[in-house]
Amino acid sequence: MSDSRLQIDLLPSLDDDVCEELAVLAQRCISGYSDDRPVSASLVRSRLTNALTGVPPVLAVARDGQNLTGWCAVRRPEPGETRARLWGPVVEPSARRAGLGRRLLQTVVGAVQWPLVTTDVPVDRDGAGVFFTEAGWEVLDTITVLHGTPSADVPGAVTAVGITGLEAYVAAAGRRFAGLESSFAESTLLRWRDDARFSAETLLLDPPTGALLLALVQRNTTGSELLVAEVWAADTEVCRRLIAQAHALAASQRVATVRAVTRQDPADFTASGMRVTGRCRTYILPGER
């Protein structure tokens, strides 16, 4: 199929039907790769929409008639962020290698004025890295993807359920362990709560040290997982205890697997029984470091 037959449009909003379409195509495109995960409409909405302002993304979609064939989006920077986040391009497998991904990328890049960084691009995804480097992007960072098996054989954890002063706790952890600027750290819990996957039951705390682990339950018709989204701790023992407690949490939530994505040394995860299943890279345009 020639991509000249496809209509590419920038959508002004992100409604439920569009989120569902984007999710279905994304799920189909990542199947079998190291970042294979449950993708739902709520996940798409939470990843593309600004949590603090509710502003929709810059979103380009390609259609062959009524059928969605590809999409690419830029989530606008949150207050305190220096770059906008590029998602995609996501292209129907049967429509690849005809230039559609390039057209989608050019459409959204040309529609924004912010510095951009990609989402995590798996090394094992055929041609993905070459796609960005040929488009003039450069590697910014390398990320490790790990998987683990839920296990109930771990002592109980302290969760955020019923904790008073949680906003201050999370903000302090963000400043101390994640190096967040004060204004961004203060809004962290609000951004987390606006994620449809967030639950106080899956935010694990270590009050003596102020450390925390944020986990998110993701389910759809194809699978389920507990995503270890953040681990903020300076002490190795505390970090590994929180990771072990997350595996027990996964068992109680009855999900199929535990997944973690980290830019740091994965030793704390592998020490807890997780295995490295893939590597990803993020890319930026030159001059945006």
**Side chain identity at 127, as an amino acid letter?**
G
Tokens of 10: 């920038």
Strand, helix or coil for residue 249: helix
Which residue spans within 84-243 are E strands per DSSP? 84-91, 116-118, 121-122, 138-148, 158-159, 203-206, 211-220, 223-232
> Tens digit of pLDDT for each residue in 124-145?
887 889 999 999 999 999 999 9
* pLDDT grade for 1, boundaries at 50, 70 and 90: very low
* pTM flag (> 0.75): yes
84, with CB counted inside 10 A (0-12, 13-18, 19+), is buried
Is the pLDDT confidence value at 182 over 90?
Answer: no
Q: Which fold has domain 3-119?
A: Aminopeptidase (3.40.630)
Rounded Cα–Cα distance for residues 190 and 21 (Å) = 27
- Map out the domains of the chain as residue ranges: 3-119, 146-279
Q: State the residue for tokens 């072990």.
A: 244
Architecture of the domain delimited by 146-279: 3-Layer(aba) Sandwich (3.40)
Contact by Cβ (8 Å): 3, 95: yes
Q: Do domains 3-119 and 146-279 have the same CATH topology?
A: yes
* pLDDT grade for 237, boundaries at 50, 70 and 90: very high
> Tens digit of pLDDT for each residue in 23-40?
999 999 888 777 777 888
